[in-house]
């Protein structure tokens, strides 16, 4: 039971990172490898600001906002000027940006593993069995709140429909008087902020090190592939499945095979069902945006 609960926690952390990755993929149509380093930035900025302010929650909030702002800056200064060069150039640029962020964080913080200075807590007992800590429960609740909030934002609000319209047809949206740059900046702020939360939550349940971003981007990619490229709802569902697979898998395999389980999922899905879960469960495809464009 403990592995199942921790699988939900792990899946919730993956969800926050993977949904942000899926948002930038849908918005700008390239694989942003540097998204993994936004988890790294968020984790280390929270460490710095929590020490500076003496309050972990405040430090985490500042980190999320600052990482979101940096995401907008990277898009405007690095990606947007070369957007017309095509997705392959953007991909290689994101790899270069990944190494830049990784090098800066390493130069400032050092290469040693670090941990947040947060008080230890006892696990909440259910029928006498320690099952989940308050930190883990918080992670699950935040992931659920963000998943529901994003659904309502994109499905019900005008700004969400504008973002969907730009992602679907950039040129038509511009003709209709929509500002694509403004919508893209919104997407990159939200996506980078969610990545920061994912990195912070990883640090809360374990520790943080310079390899955090490199390790997590591969797991995020596996959730994106499993969920189906372009399907935000599919990615949400896939993130939980991968989290459960990783944690339940170590009941059979040695613990150092934990990440390998996620990579195996990528291979299997690409071989058997390249379209991902959205081809199996129609509800995970998301709503068509044509009606949104017409209603604007």
User: Quick one: pLDDT at residue 173?
Assistant: 64
pLDDT tens digits along 144-183:
998 889 888 888 888 887 777 777 666 666 666 677 778 8
Instruction: Name the most confidently modeled range: 111-125, 180-194, 241-255.
Output: 180-194
Measured between alpha carbons, how far is 69 from 257 in angstroms, rounded to an integer?
A: 35
212 in Cβ contact with 43 (< 8 Å): yes
Which pLDDT band holds residue 295 (cuts at 50, 70, 90)?
Answer: very low
> What's the pTM value of the predicted model, to 2 decimals?
0.87
Q: Is the pLDDT of residue 91 over 80?
A: yes
Query: Residue 114 forms beta bridges with which residues?
Result: 208
Measured between alpha carbons, how far is 53 from 37 in angstroms, rounded to an integer?
A: 24
Say what percent of the chain tops pLDDT 90.
45
Alpha helices (H) along 75-178? 87-109, 134-156, 158-168, 170-175
Locate 216 and state its tokens: 């997590």
- What are the residue ranges spanned by the domains of the chain? 2-118+131-295
pLDDT tens digits along 179-224:
777 888 999 999 999 999 999 999 998 889 999 999 899 899 888 8
Q: Which range is least confidently modeled, 57-71, 117-131, 270-284?
A: 270-284
Burial profile 12-50: b = 16 or more Cβ within 10 angstroms, e = fewer? bbbbbbbbbbbbbbbbbebbbbbbbbbbbbbbbbbbebb
Which pLDDT band holds residue 288 (cuts at 50, 70, 90)?
Answer: very low
More confident residue, 60 or 279: 60
């Amino acid at each position: 039971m403990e592995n199942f609960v921790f699988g939900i926690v792990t899946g919730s952390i993956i969800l926050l990172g993977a949904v942000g990755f899926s948002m930038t993929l849908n918005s700008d149509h390239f694989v942003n490898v540097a998204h993994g380093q936004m988890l790294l930035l968020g984790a280390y900025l929270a460490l710095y600001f929590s020490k500076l302010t003496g309050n972990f929650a405040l430090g985490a909030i500042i980190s999320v906002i600052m990482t979101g702002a940096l995401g907008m800056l990277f898009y405007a200064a690095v990606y947007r000027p070369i957007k017309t060069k095509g997705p392959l150039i953007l991909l290689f640029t994101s790899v270069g940006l990944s190494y830049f962020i990784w090098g800066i964080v390493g130069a400032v913080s050092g290469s040693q593993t670090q941990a947040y200075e947060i008080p230890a807590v006892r696990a909440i007992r259910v029928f006498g069995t320690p099952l989940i800590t308050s930190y883990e429960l918080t992670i699950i609740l935040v992931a659920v709140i963000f998943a529901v909030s994003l659904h309502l934002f994109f499905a019900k609000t005008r700004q969400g429909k504008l973002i969907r319209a730009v992602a679907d047809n950039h040129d038509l949206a511009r003709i209709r008087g929509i500002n694509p740059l403004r919508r893209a900046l919104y997407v990159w702020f939200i996506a980078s902020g969610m990545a920061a939360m994912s990195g912070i939550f990883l640090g809360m349940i374990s520790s943080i090190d310079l390899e955090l971003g490199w390790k997590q981007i591969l797991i995020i990619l596996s959730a994106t592939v499993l969920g189906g490229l372009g399907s935000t709802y599919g990615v949400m569902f896939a993130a939980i499945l991968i989290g459960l697979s990783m944690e339940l898998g170590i009941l059979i395999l040695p613990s150092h095979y934990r990440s390998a389980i996620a990579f195996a999922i990528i291979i299997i899905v690409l071989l058997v069902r390249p379209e991902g879960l959205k081809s199996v469960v129609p509800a995970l495809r998301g709503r068509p945006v044509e009606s949104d464009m017409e209603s604007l």
